[in-house]
Structure 1
């Protein structure tokens, strides 16, 4: 963003008197071009400054004439241009002073209003300052060359004030050469400091990018700056060596020492980590990184053997020792074992880069150092040290190059990842440039923490909609555990590392960061579009939601992140109580796993009691674009489409259940009402189901005196080919248990003399299906149906192989015509046959331990 783009929208009266000598209309025509010229950095009246001012005046007049040709007021503009040319052609430095005053006045007005200038403006100013300094150095080299070639003529052209001499023209010209060289070396050192500062800024921006800040990764402009300065360095060095006789034995060594220091600093600082290793690094995990030598294409000569770059792990203590020695000492030993950690430093002529690319690095193990106090393993920081030794052209000077990566937290298990990310986030956000590795503040202003959380949130979720001040207020209340302070009170507070990720939140089992990271993960995976559309308030307390919704109409709702669970979003809505008063209910939070089964938009559509998104937006208008299209009719294979719907039990439903003998409270959870057996079904749960076909016996428990409560939250809907949907009325039983109603029960001979079944006949692989950590709770049985038996039970396949004859005879004797039970205690024959005995406690839905061979009706 340019300065003029801001100034042009400000009232003109704020700049009254600023354009007395330069018309505001011309400032408008020049716009950004004016800010891209080094007006502010031309100081002095020497030949260089005068030459620069004259060139900038000519360029400006040409720019204005070009703009006038496409403007409707061409005559007026040309008159103004002519007046400027007449006023400043003889004194271009006066124009520099006028435009400098205008730019200073504009900056002051913007700072007064916004308290800061655009970052792009600062960057452009820094580039202009360096470019002008480089041009001044080149001018100095030409002056030195001219003074050496023709001392008398050059002496008359030199400006005595610029050389800061009190000498008169009667002073011998040879004394002016050392002074001119000293001035040039001084300016060279200033330009070097600018380059080093720019490199440090690039490194800091790279670190902030680890938290999600915008980052210009392209190193080409910085490499060009380094190369341009080194080129001027060699030109100036050549002039000094040529003038060694005039400089004398005392001055020359001091100058050469300063030259060496400039080159050494530039070379060592231009060795950078272009691609950082992962800042949370797991052992036994491969990673990539790259180191780049900006001056490599210019200074490295073709070598018979390529230079090799080595990567080693170093502790925080080792990193400090290396920093104190200005990275001149070699590493004594690596703190971890790294595989494939030596690669060649290669120059690419096409791209003009010199890089060492580590593509297949593996941290095999890490040596932990002693930790301080309560410091955990995930607070321990280390780094990768990239090092090599090269010979520079043309001096053949040997230089040892070393550079540290950003701080790294090494973990050995995935459950350490969350806390490790907290350490990295804090270090990236609050470390200082040129710090002692890896010192970082223990306490930071809450305002800076808000900026960091906002940056991280927007980067992780990949959204342009950041956190609002209301969100910061809720987060401050949470991290400080203070619900009485105002928003302004929090702005003056500081937050500590312990409050961020060491102290457990009151009444919870997690830290502030662990909770916030869970919100990040949930929003990134399932709620990005909802957040970007501002449909989720999210960061708001349950107590404030009640206050907010208590006066709203029935059916008003909003979305908030769960305060008590990690990674959950809940719906708070207004319902009417028995007495007609408004009540605010919070539906059990949805996790990322829940929302992967049915999206948030579809869940909101399912719930008829939700009508308006707070404050008064109809839900279909707010969430309509987030609804998934429901499939109806038959699919391409001829199957009838099905869908999952969500419902929430009301208090009225629970009272009805209690009236018919149900439990006092039905669970208000998400459940799947599917026509299959309930998981974790205990033996006593099967008694009433099996009683018609299995009289009391060792495997036939007695019927229960009471039924099961209903608590359906997600119903299976089946659509016919006309597009209508209706809830499945199948009982919560295996379809195989629904027998033919026309057949008699246990008196049937076909049933009383069944063929023996083989437990492993239809047993599935126990490990073939991945098991979820949690399964949705199924709706309990609402009634027990005693269906008549089929004449030919489906679980007895005639093709089954018979067990050994002795076992079979014993089995037939036990299951006689007068036998009272279907399930006699015949487990010993099964055990002798090598089959697992049926375990009723394992009868459940979707479990790998289910024995299909003993499941009734399995075909």
Structure 2
């Protein structure tokens, strides 16, 4: 099933996130109409290859034109034509940008699908949490609805009191206008008694409505402090976990509804209090409850309005560079970044030219280079609430005399935390309100090589604290339990690569980081995770893991998502798993000695019946850029004593036939040894003559052979026969070690010879039949 079809089967909450994803990025009509074609293209590679991006963009337009020609619906055909024109205008000069946009959308879709999958797994674990969450939401919905209904009913009560007072006022003024003689009649006495009764009822109604108002105000106060504010804090916490790869963030629209209804109820109560104040001007009396009680109520309502509106000013989208959409809170100087703030209260009577000013870390070494003030606007998708998106912010480093930066200390650049603040001021219903909020702490880098270390800081902060602005956090960072950290590490793989880590893989990582037998309550220090090198290795645990993530994203994504890569398994466990398996059974695991490398090990049966294990030198991204990994698995050969054997890889562990597991990923035609066929890349490893020890990784593989070198070597191979020193041309995994003497016999190249390539484009000569 295609990725887009899986997306369409998600529930409403997840589809809402997909809808937001395509709001300002890429037309959803194109994603829908060209779903299968889009998913088969390598958009990620095109981001960094201008010619490939241009070719894909041209093909995209061609596909769109064909789709438009086949569309029978007139309106839809018209829309597709407009989209085609808009895409050409926007991306014709920068096709790499649309490749980046589509690649980011596909990655985010995979993350959404992964989140949905995690929510569906483990019903016994997920159901209680979901049940509690739904019950809290229902309770909140009920409280808000009751408050709104009660406030609306008070409108009717105020109107009834106003009518009673008008009737009393009319009768009172009528009696006042009578002649003195008429005032002494029995009728007059009865009218005075009736007026006294009306005044008593009026006094009772005034006290009654003030009592009800007091109860509602107390209920709103209790709800705001006891439920609404905690729900907002919970959303902010979920935003933190979402940023570091956790479940997709939802619930903001629900919060918006609660905030809006609460604020509107408070506005309505304020108007009712104002109306009662007007009634006092017309009719008052000794012991009148309105002037005695309303001042305190008005003050309480005013404080609640301040609290609700100020709390509703939130950072909806944390600062993020469009070039790295899944690495929020990391900003590179000189590179534009975006952020978005939103007011969760619908304000029908506010001046919509509400301007928001953003400032960066006062008294720090960076400043915002671009325009930092922008007006909020009504956002249709958020039911009329105000929001503003800053799309072109850019930081610049301040220049200091003698090169001093003023903030240098023991912390590294990627441990220094900064924040972005947002301020606004407006008046509503006579209340002047100052709004202020800030982003989560962010890291500023000056070189993209600092990105992995910066992301480690972002993960560590958002994993272990819910403090919104603790900029000195890494002065004394807390430890994380392995159970906390392992969950976040699994999130990295689910969000960046589409599939998280299972318990066995996490166990191996725990052993690697903490030693054998690591358990969930073991504590991990910040330094051990990100700064200290792994014993015997020139890199830290996190850098090793990050390089594997990069390798998967660029070269192994389909194979990884189909669960064909065991990945994280120790060498001892690898042999234990393969021992006793049928000859040719192999598994794939990530290298522990190379950054961003993957290797495979297969088992053979020795003459004495014991199992032999052979491992190849790890394939890194530089090697996989030349030949897809699935093709390496398909075409892999081993050369022993000058003889090239058949492919030793037969079954993917535990017993899946190789072609069944990998055939869908094959790109190039399978290589065949046949005269005059075009040369193809074939990965070849040399097995030592005794054939009993695993292949040892080459410490410093030579670079690919240049076209000139290839031509010279090809000329040397154009003989009918080769002299015995054939082994002087030694091949290891995807690598040729050139020796000074080739040792070919000096015959004229008359008969011709065929040749085939190894995994790195090297040539293995073979006489023509």
TM-score, with length taken from structure 1: 0.57
Given that 2:551 and 2:596 are in contact with CA atoms closer than 8 Å, whether structure 1 keeps it comes out as: yes
Given that 2:729 and 2:736 are in contact with CA atoms closer than 8 Å, whether structure 1 keeps it comes out as: no
- Select the residue among 290, 294, 310 that pairs with 2:357: 310
Residue aligning to 2:273:
240
Deviations 1:637-661 (A, max 9, x none): xx96331001111112899xxxxxx
Partner SS, residue 444 of structure 2 = strand
- Select the residue among 424, 446, 457 that pairs with 2:493: 457
1:411 is displaced (CA, Å) by 0.7
Residue aligning to 1:563:
592
Residue aligning to 2:445:
411
Residue aligning to 1:204:
237
Given that 1:312 and 1:334 are in contact with CA atoms closer than 8 Å, whether structure 2 keeps it comes out as: no
- Select the residue among 615, 623, 635 that pairs with 1:594: 623
Aligned ranges 1:142-181 → 2 under 5 Å: 142=152, 144-145=154-155, 175-181=207-213
- Select the residue among 533, 537, 542 that pairs with 1:504: 533
Residue aligning to 1:793:
none
Cα 1:561–1:592 shift into 2, 3 Å? same
Counterpart CA distance in 2 for 1:372 and 1:714 is: 47
1:412 is displaced (CA, Å) by 0.9
TM-score, with length taken from structure 2: 0.63
Cα 1:667–1:150 shift into 2, 3 Å? closer
Given that 1:312 and 1:384 are in contact with CA atoms closer than 8 Å, whether structure 2 keeps it comes out as: yes
Deviations 1:479-504 (A, max 9, x none): 10x22x2xxx6022222212211221
Residue aligning to 1:529:
558
| 2:731 is aligned with 1:783 | no
Partner SS, residue 554 of structure 1 = coil
| 2:573 is aligned with 1:549 | no
Counterpart CA distance in 2 for 1:366 and 1:604 is: 52
1:514 is displaced (CA, Å) by 0.8
Partner SS, residue 574 of structure 1 = strand
Given that 1:670 and 1:714 are in contact with CA atoms closer than 8 Å, whether structure 2 keeps it comes out as: no
Residue aligning to 1:443:
479
Residue aligning to 1:380:
416
Deviations 1:329-383 (A, max 9, x none): xxx656522122323213237552422222222111168664664x322111111
Given that 1:281 and 1:410 are in contact with CA atoms closer than 8 Å, whether structure 2 keeps it comes out as: yes
Deviations 1:763-816 (A, max 9, x none): xxxxxxxxxxxxx655446624586999xxxxxxxxxxxxxxxxxxxxxxxxxx
Residue aligning to 2:308:
266
Counterpart CA distance in 2 for 1:554 and 1:174 is: 92
Cα 1:113–1:649 shift into 2, 3 Å? closer
Counterpart CA distance in 2 for 1:788 and 1:581 is: 46
Given that 1:311 and 1:341 are in contact with CA atoms closer than 8 Å, whether structure 2 keeps it comes out as: no
Residue aligning to 2:663:
624
Counterpart CA distance in 1 for 2:425 and 2:162 is: 47
Q: Which has the higher helix share?
A: 2
1:632 is displaced (CA, Å) by 8.2
Partner SS, residue 552 of structure 1 = coil
Given that 1:666 and 1:709 are in contact with CA atoms closer than 8 Å, whether structure 2 keeps it comes out as: no
Cα 1:438–1:406 shift into 2, 3 Å? farther
1:606 is displaced (CA, Å) by 1.7
- Select the residue among 295, 301, 304 that pairs with 2:345: 295
1:438 is displaced (CA, Å) by 6.7
Given that 1:708 and 1:780 are in contact with CA atoms closer than 8 Å, whether structure 2 keeps it comes out as: no
Gaps of 5+ in 1: 1-111, 155-168, 315-331, 634-638, 656-663, 690-705, 716-775, 791-844, 847-859
- Select the residue among 469, 475, 498 that pairs with 2:503: 469
Residue aligning to 2:689:
652
Counterpart CA distance in 1 for 2:133 and 2:215 is: 27
- Select the residue among 120, 124, 133 that pairs with 2:134: 124
What CA RMSD, in Å, does the superposition of the two structures yield over aligned residues? 3.9
Deviations 1:163-189 (A, max 9, x none): xxxxxx9x9665444432221111111
Residue aligning to 2:145:
135
Residue aligning to 1:104:
none
Counterpart CA distance in 2 for 1:209 and 1:619 is: 37
Partner SS, residue 435 of structure 2 = strand
Cα 1:651–1:666 shift into 2, 3 Å? farther
Given that 1:389 and 1:400 are in contact with CA atoms closer than 8 Å, whether structure 2 keeps it comes out as: yes
Partner SS, residue 492 of structure 2 = helix
Gaps of 5+ in 2: 1-121, 165-200, 281-287, 321-328, 400-404, 637-646, 717-724, 750-759, 762-769
Aligned residues: 540
Deviations 1:599-649 (A, max 9, x none): 22211122311222222222222222222240789xxxxx96331001111
Counterpart CA distance in 2 for 1:261 and 1:197 is: 18
Name the stretch that deviates more: 438-447 or 781-790: 781-790
- Select the residue among 512, 516, 530 that pairs with 1:478: 512
Deviations 1:540-573 (A, max 9, x none): 1112212332333432211111111111111112
Partner SS, residue 649 of structure 1 = strand
Deviations 1:250-273 (A, max 9, x none): 543332221111111122122222
1:675 is displaced (CA, Å) by 7.5
| 2:547 is aligned with 1:515 | no
Residue aligning to 1:423:
457
Counterpart CA distance in 2 for 1:603 and 1:467 is: 25
Residue aligning to 1:712:
731
Residue aligning to 1:56:
none
Partner SS, residue 505 of structure 1 = coil
| 2:237 is aligned with 1:190 | no
Residue aligning to 1:336:
366
| 2:398 is aligned with 1:391 | no
| 2:243 is aligned with 1:214 | no
Answer 1 or 2: higher relative contact order, Cα 8 Å, separation at least 6: 2
Residue aligning to 1:65:
none
Cα 1:178–1:777 shift into 2, 3 Å? same
1:229 is displaced (CA, Å) by 1.6
Partner SS, residue 385 of structure 1 = strand
Cα 1:516–1:668 shift into 2, 3 Å? closer
Given that 1:277 and 1:405 are in contact with CA atoms closer than 8 Å, whether structure 2 keeps it comes out as: yes
1:408 is displaced (CA, Å) by 1.0
Given that 1:450 and 1:472 are in contact with CA atoms closer than 8 Å, whether structure 2 keeps it comes out as: yes
Residue aligning to 2:298:
256
Deviations 1:722-753 (A, max 9, x none): xxxxxxxxxxxxxxxxxxxxxxxxxxxxxxxx
